[in-house]
Structure 1
Amino acid sequence: MAADDAGFRIDTTGQATLVLQGRWRMDRLPALTQQLRATVWPVLAAVDAQGLTALDSASALLLLRALGGHAPPPGQWHGLDPAHARTLARVAEHLVQAAPPPAPRRLRTLAQLGRSSVELGQLARGHLAMLGETVVALGEVLRHPARLRVRELTVQLSQAGLSALPVVALVTALIGVVIAYLLGLQAEKYGANLFVVDGVAIGATREFAPIIVAVIVAGRSGAAFTAQLGSMRLTEEIDAIRTLGLSPRQVLVLPRVLALVLALPLLVFVGDVASLLGAMAIAQPMLDITPTAFVTRLQEALPLRHVLVGLAKAPVFALVIAVIGVRMGLAAPRDTAALGRATTSTVVQCIVAVILLDAVFAVVLQALGW
């Protein structure tokens, strides 16, 4: 082999040793690549680099990739010029950094269940932490009322309350029509048309109106909170608020939470009225119950406690929706795709939380005789 030729051989006398020779330069890569691919590699014990006259980064990368798991440890590279050693070290470092991540291991059903449980616990802990921070911020406002952002609170009340009135009234009125229609189909069979008023009144005011209104608000205000705060986090507006010495909890979180807690009971009351009006509208043509008879029966069949129970649920639902919405917005990663996923997740979490809380209310109130 000429002195300028690049090549190698494997000396199997005793322990397997890789002997490097010549100039390992870019112009020699085609021949080196062909030779390296054709080699069956044993487990090497050492590398003899005394005959290596030149080495560039491209050839070093080719050599290290060819050796793979057969390369001996760094201490077993003999006769290696210090400049060549530095080239190999830099290439090896970048090679490790550029290595693709290992393929995710497929978990079994029990492992997936465990991972999902841990993630759910971390999510619940984050929401509880946000609830605690909100309560602390509210305590600070109670001690120093001047810290309350009245203008922001008014804006959020308008967006979460007044803007939601048309859709809440429409949806709950249609729900009242559907409930009266379904109950009327069964009541007509037994001549108990008038008792449809009882079912509609109790069901709408105690259960249907609070849940339907909370779901609407979760889709409107909960998602809006996440989108607004996530966008502010993406554009670093929240960091700017902190730089000014202000608390994001006071400026951004507390006005939204208070606005939703104040607005939702009013929306539920509107939903109660709209659902009863919807039931009244269909009661006369379907069941021959006049509006006067409907109102008279309503006064007899609807105790005030059912209305109060429905209204009492509203602030709890609102608090949960607002806390989830603002927390998902503040915790959203700084990219648009993740913000969209966080907004979708907010709606799902709010709806599930509202239904779970309603079930808890039903069990507790039943035990209390309410």
Structure 2
Amino acid sequence: MTATADFSADGDVIRFSGDLSLARLGSLPDRLDKVEGKVARVDLSGVDRIDTVGAYVVHRFAARHDAPVEGLEPDGKQLFDQVVQSDQQVAMRPSHGSGFTRVLGEVGEAVVVTGRTLLGLLGFLGATTLAFMSVIRHPRRFRFNSVVHEFETVGVAALGIVGLMSFLIGIVIAQQGAVQLRQFGAEVFTINLVGRLTLRELGVLMTAIMVAGRSGSAFAAQLGTMKLTEEIDAMRTIGVSPMEALVLPRTLAAIVLMPLLGFYASLIAIIGGGLLAWVSLGIPPVTFVARIREVVPITDLYVGLIKAPVFGAIIAIAGCFQGMQVEADAEQVGLRTTSAVVQGIFLVIVLDAFFAVFFTWVGWN
């Protein structure tokens, strides 16, 4: 039955009848908008069925004419009352304080979140260390196949992109250095710049950034997905430690392969710089290599090799930590993956600054 609205004889009572549901309302809302004059009351005793949309239409009409609504059965009355209660103007809470106060509050909140994250990372580092000590005490629990698989993921599969990046960085360093040194007639010192900068700093640092963006994000996404699908909970149920089975192989792979990748990146960067020096400056490769051996101290290589495993450990732990924090829904996987990359790169740069000060203090300039 199509819902209709009828007027009483005296014209001040509106009686509804029929099916007041969304599928049967038809043009009723438009016809109600055209009703003018005084309405004493709204009678719904003739209504066979009413849903939320119908109740809202009646409530809006009655509120506009300030008329009481009568005649509903108990179930319909309860639905109508809920619609009335829901149709309330939302009170917006005024903001207190100046813009500076709000900004200061947001900065304080960010500092608190950062502190909690660093504390969580520190605790996760401790848990990883305990898992490593446990595996040392029980060597049979060491998952050699998992570590080898992560070797391929972290190292072998990254050789192409790391090599290309390092080669181009070597060319850029040599080109920019030559342009500046040419003003003083000292183009030959481009070799010093390329050799020392790539072995000591940029080779390992750029490799760490690349590994953080590539492997650190993969660690977070993999563990986050396993957390959502409750695979990690299932591992705990059957007595398998997720730290030993998932986190430790990834961390060991990053620690072992970062020095190799860093050394590889430094060599490729030197090759790129040597190629640019040969083409642009006319310095033959034999002279370039001989000059590299003269001006680059062995301590620069030691500095890079010492920093690399620390960077690898930080990247792996940040990625695994963020992956283990995933909860609720799939959106968390993307958010935690982004956090893993940002935190990994940030911590690598902070540690690189610390190492620069430390090695200068010990005399490895």
Residue 251 of structure 1: CA displacement?
A: 0.5
Which runs of 5 or more residues in structure 1 are unaligned?
A: 6-21, 42-51, 69-94
Among 133, 141, 149, the residue aligned to 1:147: 141
1:232-247 matches, within 5 Å, as 232-247=226-241
Give 1:190 deviation, angstroms: 2.1
Identity of aligned residues (%): 37
Q: CA deviation at 1:65?
A: 5.5
Correspondence for 2:191: 197
Distance in 1, matches of 2:90 and 2:313, equals 42
RMSD: 3.2
The SS at the match of 1:333 is coil
Q: How does 1:71-90 map to 2 (within 5 A)?
A: none
Deviation at 1:263, TM superposition (A): 0.6
SS in structure 2 at match of 1:156: helix
Aligned pair partner of 1:163 in 157, 175, 186:
157
Match among 57, 62, 72 for residue 80 of structure 2: 62
TM-score (normalizing by structure 1)? 0.76
Note if contact 1:222-1:322 (Cα within 8 Å) is conserved in structure 2: yes
Counterpart for residue 265 of structure 1: 259
Please state how far the C-alpha of 1:62 moved relative to its aligned partner.
2.8
Alignment CA distance shift 1:36-1:100 (3 Å): closer
Question: How has the CA–CA distance of structure 1 residues 362 and 25 changed in structure 2, closer, same or farther, with 3 Å as cutoff?
Answer: farther
1:343 Cα offset (Å): 1.5
Query: In the aligned structure 1, how far is the partner of 2:312 from the partner of 2:297?
Result: 24
Give the Cα separation in 2 of the matches to 1:348 and 1:342: 10
User: 2:340 — aligned with what?
Assistant: 346
- The CA distance in 1 between the partners of 2:92 and 2:234, in whole Å, is 39
Match of 1:121? 115
3-state SS in 2 of match to 1:133: helix
Q: 1:303 to 1:33 in 2, by over 3 A?
A: closer
Q: Which amino acid aligns with 2:313?
A: L
Aligned residues, how many?
Answer: 316
CA drift of 1:286 comes to 1.2
SS of alignment partner, residue 346 of structure 1: helix
Paired amino acid for 1:320: I
Deviations 1:293-334 (A, max 9, x none): 111111110001111111111111111100111111111124
Once the two structures are TM-superposed, the CA of residue 171 in structure 1 deviates from its matched residue by 1.0
C-alpha distance after superposition, 1:126-159 (max 9, x if no partner): 2111111101101111111111111101100111
Following superposition, the deviation at residue 336 of structure 1 comes to 2.4
Tell me what 1:308 maps to. 302
1:307-346 correspondence runs (5 A): 307-346=301-340
Please tell me whether residue 173 in structure 1 is matched to residue 167 in structure 2.
Answer: yes
Aligned mates of 1:105, 1:156 — CA distance in 2: 53
SS in 1 for 2:118: helix
Unaligned runs of 5+ in 2: 1-12, 14-42
TM-score (norm 2): 0.77
Alignment partner, residue 354 of structure 2: 360
Over residues 47-95 of structure 1, what are the superposed CA-to-partner deviations in whole Å (9 max), with x where a residue is unaligned?
Answer: xxxxx998523313433654x5xxxxxxxxxxxxxxxxxxxxxxxxxx8
- Which region of structure 1 is more displaced relative to structure 2, 233-242 or 306-315? 233-242
Equivalent position amino acid for 1:247 in 2:
S
Moved over 4 A (4+): 22-41, 52-55, 99-107
Q: Match of 2:185, as an amino acid? A: G
Change (3 A) 1:190 1:57: same
The residue type paired with residue 156 of structure 2 is L
